[in-house]
Structure 1
């Protein structure tokens, strides 16, 4: 008879995600994961599979929490331009400031830069994440359209893709640019097509 698990899977996933986020997939060893999660190697393997499967579980966890966050921010009532402005303000805040756990940037953006070009499975996760973001931006922009607040010759879909790219770009740029004004200028340009 198998022994019952003596750890909370959600807590272990959260800890593993923090470590992958801080160090990246390649620089995180199983020994690191064991030490950081305080779960034995065999238990990690039995529960999550190998390091790669654990990383995918962390990526899925991040995707779900990000979808919830984006939906809460972009699907709220109000002026679409103000909603977007606040969304990008918060993105810049997070991009520039490591949180209390030392996590820099966006886990998905970091993964896209580190692994997506070499791993088709990871690339498909990043693409799914981007498509979901794109859909949320589309919904917001479609709300702006009837009021004549969408001053652009581009389609809503093209603008939504541009906003997805802007979000990732802010996180990427913040890795080397510590001047908030530089990131703010990017956000201002992104908002300029909304009247």
Structure 2
């Protein structure tokens, strides 16, 4: 049997867009065929099925966009890095890039599929750990209020990140989103 030849990264980017816009359940093989330019036989050969293509798209999303966006967190002052990261998320939302493959897939799946649940959980856990590490550093540097528990604050920020990623585009008021981000971070800062 001949191996299908295509740019895997490009195909998965196209599949991501479809899964983000329609959700897994409403995405058909015809949608994937139109978006990727692959015939169903090639999709089945490379990914086994629609679920396999979703898992591959999730993996690519995590490896590229998710990890890339976390580079925003790098800063000498941890709270500045977190604030910058949140502002970047808000800007993407307001620039009509509201769909996040992770958030959309969470909305489509409950705990019925262990592989998908594990793929979804990993980046959120990594972000939670990264936020907590940054908040501990901020506390050590004296920029985080002493009364704030870094672990609890990390959970609060994770909820904010998830909220931004799932925020409806039609309600995205850029000025208000940025003001709320500044408020949240400033409430954590030492005066």
Q: Provide the TM-score with structure 1 as the length reference.
A: 0.86
Equivalents in 2 of 1:55, 1:151: separation in Å? 42
Equivalents in 2 of 1:54, 1:4: separation in Å? 16
What's the offset of the Cα at 1:189? 3.8
Which structure 2 residues correspond to residues 34-183 of structure 1 after superposition, within 5 A? 34-74=33-73, 76-99=74-97, 104-116=98-110, 118-151=112-145, 153-183=147-177
Equivalents in 2 of 1:51, 1:135: separation in Å? 31
Taking a change above 3 Å as real, the CA distance of residues 182 and 27 of structure 1, as seen in their structure-2 partners, is same
Equivalents in 2 of 1:53, 1:38: separation in Å? 17
Cα shift readout 1:147-170 (whole Å, capped 9, x = no counterpart): 211115343222112111101112
Cα shift readout 1:60-100 (whole Å, capped 9, x = no counterpart): 111122342244111x232222212211111111122214x
Gaps of 5+ in 2: none
Are the counterparts in 2 of residues 96 and 174 from structure 1 also a CA contact under 8 Å? no
Equivalents in 2 of 1:19, 1:150: separation in Å? 41
What's the offset of the Cα at 1:122? 2.7
Equivalents in 1 of 2:109, 2:147: separation in Å? 35
Q: Does 1:24 align with 2:30?
A: no
Task: Count the aligned residue pairs.
Answer: 189
Q: Provide the TM-score with structure 2 as the length reference.
A: 0.87
Equivalents in 2 of 1:137, 1:97: separation in Å? 25
CA RMSD of aligned residues (A): 2.0
**1 or 2, which has the higher helix percentage?**
2
